Amino acid sequence: MRTQYGIILAYEESFARAVAIGVIVREPLTVWHFLIPFVFIFDFFRRKRDTEIFTKNFLFVKKLALDAAFAISKGEDRQSRLTQIESETRDKLTSQKLYSWGIHQGQMTEVNLRIDHYSKLLEAEGNSYQSLVKNTYQTQENYEAFLHQLTSIEREIDRAVIKTLGETEEVWQPMLTKHAAIDEMRTRGVRKLFSEVRRG
């Protein structure tokens, strides 16, 4: 089971970094990046730092849910763990000046769904994330049903974030970019996984 844990965490970290790159690095370069070398260097390090911060924040709820699923599989009480996560997520949101009831409840809904998902993957046979998913969900329809449910929850959280921060272009434009990056990666992942299944 620890092997499965490592596989799942590595996948989520890779997915988070790819989304971060899709959101941050796609910002267009200006003429100043080419005329003034120091601007390019400064911007490179700024984007690197922003990518690391985005990745860490993007992973926060996923890691809490994965650790909870692993602990629950070892006998820890689920409700006790959820109470702990509820406190950790509230503190995190408060520290980021992002706390609202809607965001917090959305995160807890996502945590519960992900605990169920990760618990299944932890019990599955396989030596890659793709094989864990294939052996857990069996069919493309089953896996897409999970992804659809997850995406709906994520979008609801983002709507609550936009409501909290204000419905400005500065807020919703990065959200749309993030959604596009996530959708593209998930679609590509499903297509690759189940085309391999059909060939196999």
In angstroms, the CA 82 to CA 104 distance is: 13
In angstroms, the CA 101 to CA 87 distance is: 13
The band of 186, judged by pLDDT with boundaries at 50, 70 and 90, is very high
State the sign of the Cα–Cα–Cα–Cα dihedral 178, 174, 55, 91: negative
Counted domains in the chain? 1
* Structural domain harbouring 47: 2-199
More confident residue, 47 or 68: 68
- What's the confidence (pLDDT) of residue 128? 95
More confident residue, 72 or 192: 72
- Tokens, residue 124: 């599955």
**Rama region for 138: left / alpha / beta (φ>0; ψ in -120 to 50; rest):** left
Helix pair angle (169-199, 129-137), 10° resolution? 80
- What's the confidence (pLDDT) of residue 198? 54
pLDDT tens profile 5-48: 999 999 999 999 999 888 876 555 444 334 444 444 445 556 67
For residues 57, 177, 26, 12, the Cα torsion angle rounded to the nearest 10 degrees is 40
- What's the confidence (pLDDT) of residue 123? 97
- What's the confidence (pLDDT) of residue 42? 47
Q: Are 27 and 21 in contact (CB under 8 A)?
A: no
**What is the Cα 124 distance to its own chain's centre?**
21
- What's the confidence (pLDDT) of residue 49? 77
110-119, 137-146, 164-173: range with lowest mean pLDDT? 164-173
More confident residue, 46 or 109: 109
pLDDT tens profile 146-156: 999 999 999 99
- What's the confidence (pLDDT) of residue 27? 54
**Cα–Cα distances in angstroms (integers) from residue 188 to residues 61, 62, 107, 191, in the given order:** 23, 21, 25, 5
The band of 68, judged by pLDDT with boundaries at 50, 70 and 90, is very high
- What's the confidence (pLDDT) of residue 47? 65
Query: First-to-last CA distance in the chain?
Result: 26
Report the chain's mean pLDDT, rounded to a whole number: 88
The band of 194, judged by pLDDT with boundaries at 50, 70 and 90, is confident
93-97, 154-158, 195-199: range with lowest mean pLDDT? 195-199
**Cα–Cα distances in angstroms (integers) from residue 41 to residues 23, 48, 49, 158, in the given order:** 19, 11, 12, 32
More confident residue, 36 or 121: 121
